[in-house]
Structure 1
């Protein structure tokens, strides 16, 4: 028991996805798929910056 509700919900979601009209930004999708460079990529740390400078090994006590 309970499988009927899950299947009905899946069917409802699938039908909604199939028939709903979506505003798709194909330009952004193409950039994401092709891996083009953008400002959202994390920058590399500068030479003087140490990412682990504040880390203290808990086993060293």
Structure 2
């Protein structure tokens, strides 16, 4: 008992996935699958070294 609601919800979700029209960006999918450039990394500006980075590198070598 009690499985009726869960099964009805699963059926509803399955039908929604089956019959819903999807707008797929195949270009973005191909880039993701082939290891193309990440859109988030293109938007970032190059990171500049701060003035204290030289000191951090020296202390880590010692």
TM above 0.5, yes or no, is yes
Larger Rg: 2
Q: 1:39 to 1:18 in 2, by over 3 A?
A: closer
Q: Distance in 1 between matches of 2:37 and 2:14?
A: 34
Provide structure 1 residue ranges, at least 5 long, that are not aligned to the other structure.
54-61
Q: Distance in 2 between matches of 1:39 and 1:16?
A: 30
Provide structure 2 residue ranges, at least 5 long, that are not aligned to the other structure.
57-62
Q: Distance in 2 between matches of 1:39 and 1:12?
A: 34
Number of residues of Structure 1 aligned to a counterpart in Structure 2: 50
Q: Distance in 2 between matches of 1:46 and 1:3?
A: 58
Q: Name the structure 1 match of 2:24.
A: 24
- Normalised to the residue count of structure 2, the TM-score between the two structures is 0.57
Q: Name the structure 2 match of 1:14.
A: 14
- Normalised to the residue count of structure 1, the TM-score between the two structures is 0.58
